[in-house]
Structure 1
Amino acid sequence: MYRRQFIVGLPLALSACSATEVWAPDDVVSRAIYRDPSAAYLTLYTMKNVGSDSGAHSALLINASQRVIFDPAGSFEQNRMPERNDVLFGASPLLEEFYVSYHARVTYYVIGQTAQVAPDVAERALKLALANGPVPQAHCARSTSRLLRQLPGFADFRQTWDPNRISEDFAQLPNVTSRRFHESDEDDKSIAAARINAALTAQ
């Protein structure tokens, strides 16, 4: 599996705010790159608890010179998308669908909000994601909001630890489209991961 596969050396003692570094080799990343020739855009994914509607995770799909998913402190494990410090490469529509399916289950649903942006804005988002470095657990919303706040047109976004606040701010952008994804899988992401990898291996 690509997630957490390529790990560089770390100090023996890590603080609570540390995160594991992951760096897929150049040739692996080059083979995985996926490009979408349509207009540049960003899709914010927010994972929400079905019962409380509280936000559990934030991630950002970036369609720039290549299509990637910035998945800070994420846990999506599969065998097609190599990773460099929370950036997943090769985000084809099929793998994006699997990413969403991995997170949607009986206890959580996913909201995807898409905003068209200028090509230079998408490219800046890509560069910021690549330069961000590994994100510690529970810092997904903080890292996602910090990245977005650095983009032209996003300066009013709140710096936050709450995925729902990012979703609320994203909804204020012009011409945002939104989709909700519900699934009835068991509340065990390892089952979804195994199913996804079996499907990918069979292709």
Structure 2
Amino acid sequence: MRNIFLSLLAVLSLAACAEPKWAPDAAVQRAAFHSDDPPSITLFTVVRPSNGRGGHSGLLINGTQRILFDPAGTFSHPQLPERNDVVYGMNDKMVDFYIDYHARENWDMIEQTVPVSREVADMVARRAQGWGAVGKAQCAHSISAMLNGVPGFESVGGTWFPANLRKEFAEVPGVQERRITDATARKDYGVELVQPGDPRAQVAAY
């Protein structure tokens, strides 16, 4: 019983570490990006190639506009306004930048994309926009909870672990998966990086 209590206390402590952010309306409207690609939901999972364990989960939502739900993530750029963990302005170059940011020598990026209707994509987007800031170590938990009840994603149950979320997402009908390594990630996205010493230049610690 004591161990259960300590585990719950740890989870509540992590949740308290959430850092709310709220970009102004003008910045969000200016950054809004509409993709001509068909509507889709993409799960990104950062995994260790040595053992398959996951270090982080992110969700790219391509509906009326393309946004990124990056719960408890460290990814950021001055041109990308953020409201809590929802990042706006995710054009193709910024998506490549996001992938390259996470793919490195000891970490691969698994991309799983599911085609959906515009209505489903916008439903998930609204949930992401209303979710609020996510505490550390809760990326997979928040994404799996967000997808609960979304048509077509019945295979996704509640989980705290990115690797488990990836396995459940693989059962969604129509999913297409690819693995991106540090060697295969695109480097020609042309996004100006932040200056050395800027806190936003730090890499994620998995």
Q: Percent of counterpart pairs with the same letter?
A: 39
Aligned to 2:32: 33
Equivalent in the alignment of 1:107:
106
Return the TM-score normalized by structure 1: 0.82
State the shift of 1:195 in Å: 7.3
Whole-angstrom distance in 2 between the partners of 1:92 and 1:77: 14
In structure 2, distance between residues paired with 1:38 and 1:95: 15
Encode CA deviations 1:42-73: one digit per residue, 9 max, x unaligned: 11000001322101111000001100010000
Higher mean C-alpha displacement, 81-90 vs 169-178: 169-178
Once the two structures are superposed, residues 67-97 of structure 1 have per-residue CA deviations (whole angstroms, 9 ceiling, x without a partner) of 0010000000212111001000011010000
Partner of 1:98: 97
Moved over 4 A (4+): none
- List runs of 5+ in structure 2 lacking aligned partners: 1-11, 184-190, 196-206
Cα deviations across residues 99-149 of structure 1 (Å, max 9, x unaligned)? 010001111110001000011110100000000000000000000111112
Partner of 1:63: 62
Pairwise CA RMSD of aligned residues?
1.8
Give the Å deviation of 1:37. 2.7
Residues 1-203 of structure 1 mapped to structure 2, 5 A cutoff: 15-18=13-16, 19-183=18-182, 196-197=193-194
* SS of residue matched to 1:59: strand
Say whether the 8 Å CA contact 1:47–1:108 is kept in structure 2: yes
Q: Which runs of 5+ in 1 are unaligned?
A: 1-13, 185-193, 199-203
SS at match of 1:166: helix
The equivalent residue for 1:11 is none
Are 2:155 and 2:169, in contact at CA under 8 Å, matched by a contact in 1?
Answer: no
- Give TM-score scaled by structure 2 length: 0.81
